[in-house]
Amino acid sequence: MATYKKRGGKAKSSQQQTPEQESVTAEVFSTLDTSAGKAEAWVARNQNYILTAIGAVVVIVLGYLAYLNFVAKPLNEESTNAMAQAQAYFKAGMEDPTVQDSLFVLALDGDGVAPGFLQIIEEYGSSDAAQLANYNAGMIYLQQKAYDNAISYLDDFTTEDPILGALALGGIGDAFAELNQLEDALAYYQKAADFSENNLTTPRFLRKGAQVALAIDKAKVAAKLLQNLKENFASSPEAANVDVLLAQAQQ
């Protein structure tokens, strides 16, 4: 077989090809030439479609980049700034229960100058701030015992944050528990415990889930949750008296 130097032309073969070998080689190159010619002809016939497809991809990419820079980024900045006052009312209400009711109303509905969470959700629904507004509104409704509203807004909240995601799912579980829909409450407590493994939310919702499971005679489910709590979060406050609950589940 002929070899090629790294640079320069083709190296001479060490052996002379026979007429049969030359015929086979010629046939191979002839086939390659024919295939190349067909490919070129196909491209020539369909170049308008190809160029249109390439152009469409370029337009999509440029459009996406333009959206990120000229729509999504300014929208996030505008909505975050607009929500600053509502966030301040929410924070103050969480810190001072004596004025919580009035501050939560301002956080939800606005104060006549700055918008509240509900207006932020309506006007900036695709922004990060509107997502956080869903969480905050859901938690306020949970505090106000408006459980259906709490479930609705928390269910609309999406995040990859390990803490907020778990708290939102656990909040839905709390709302269902207050509505005495304990099967649903258990399902959401399990989702909350599984959302992310951490020392803050996981033991909290393992215990809540176990207590609900015991209440609806799902002893095996309760035992599994409690065993997880005992083995992996033994130092957490939620693990206190876990053996007592585990004994109930294993009866």
Q: What crossing angle do the helices spanning 100-109 and 73-95 adopt, rounded to 10°?
A: 170
User: Which of 204, 147, 202 is closest to 174 using CA atoms?
Assistant: 147
- At residue 41, the pLDDT reads 55
Amino acid at 193: A
Q: How many CB atoms lie within 10 A of CB 85?
A: 17
Could you report the per-residue pLDDT of 130-180, keeping only the tens digit for each?
A: 888 899 999 999 999 999 999 999 999 998 899 999 999 999 999 999 999
The model carries a pTM of 0.70
pLDDT range class, residue 16, cuts 50, 70, 90:
low
Could you report the per-residue pLDDT of 95-125, keeping only the tens digit for each?
A: 998 999 999 999 999 999 998 999 999 988 7
- At residue 239, the pLDDT reads 94
Least reliable range by pLDDT among 2-11, 59-68, 119-128, 225-234 = 2-11
**pLDDT mean over 201-223:** 96
Could you report the per-residue pLDDT of 48-100, keeping only the tens digit for each?
A: 554 554 445 444 444 434 433 434 455 567 667 778 888 899 899 989 989 99
Between 53 and 208, the higher pLDDT residue: 208
Between 9 and 218, the higher pLDDT residue: 218
> What residue ranges do the domains of the chain occupy?
165-251
- At residue 129, the pLDDT reads 84
> Helices in 197-250 by DSSP H: which ranges?
202-215, 219-232, 242-249
**With 80 as the cut, is the pLDDT of residue 8 above it?**
no
Superfamily of domain 165-251: Tetratricopeptide repeat domain (1.25.40.10)
User: Which of 103, 101, 129 is closest to 117 using CA atoms?
Assistant: 129
pLDDT range class, residue 200, cuts 50, 70, 90:
very high
Between 15 and 185, the higher pLDDT residue: 185
pLDDT range class, residue 128, cuts 50, 70, 90:
confident
Q: What distance in Å separates the CA atoms of residue 30 and residue 36, rounded to the nearest whole number?
A: 10
Could you report the per-residue pLDDT of 19-45, keeping only the tens digit for each?
A: 555 554 555 445 545 544 555 555 455
pLDDT range class, residue 185, cuts 50, 70, 90:
very high
pLDDT range class, residue 206, cuts 50, 70, 90:
very high
- At residue 30, the pLDDT reads 53
SS (H, E, C) 13-59: CCCCCCHHHHHHHHHHHHHHHHHHHHHHHHHHHHHHHHHHHHHHHHH
Q: What distance in Å separates the CA atoms of residue 36 and residue 42, rounded to the nearest whole number?
A: 10
- At residue 195, the pLDDT reads 96
